[in-house]
Amino acid sequence: MAPRNGNQRLGVAAKQVAEHAGALTRLEVELAQIELKQKAQSLGVGVGLGAGAAVMALYGLGFLLATIAAALALLVDWWLALLIVTGVLFLIAGIAGVIANGRLRNATPPVPEQAIEEAKLTTEAIKH
Contact criterion met (CB below 8 Å) for 110 and 97: no
Residue 4 or 21, more confident:
21
pTM over 0.85: no
State percent of the chain over pLDDT 70: 96
Nearest CA to 85 out of 72, 99, 97 is that of 72
What is the rounded distance in angstroms from the CA atom of residue 31 to the CA atom of residue 37? 10
Burial of 45 (C-beta count, 10 Å sphere; 0-12/13-18/19+): exposed
77-83 contacts: CB < 8 A, separation 24 or more? Answer: none
Task: Give the pLDDT score at 44.
Answer: 93
| DSSP for residue 108 | -
Distance of CA 108 to the CA centre of its chain: 21
- Please determine, for residue 93, whether its predicted confidence score (pLDDT) is greater than 90: yes
Q: For residue 22, how many other CB atoms are within 10 A of its CB?
A: 10
Give the pLDDT score at 125: 78
pLDDT tens by residue, 36-87: 888 889 999 999 999 999 999 999 999 999 999 999 999 999 999 999 999 9
Give the pLDDT score at 95. Answer: 97
Report pLDDT for 3.
54
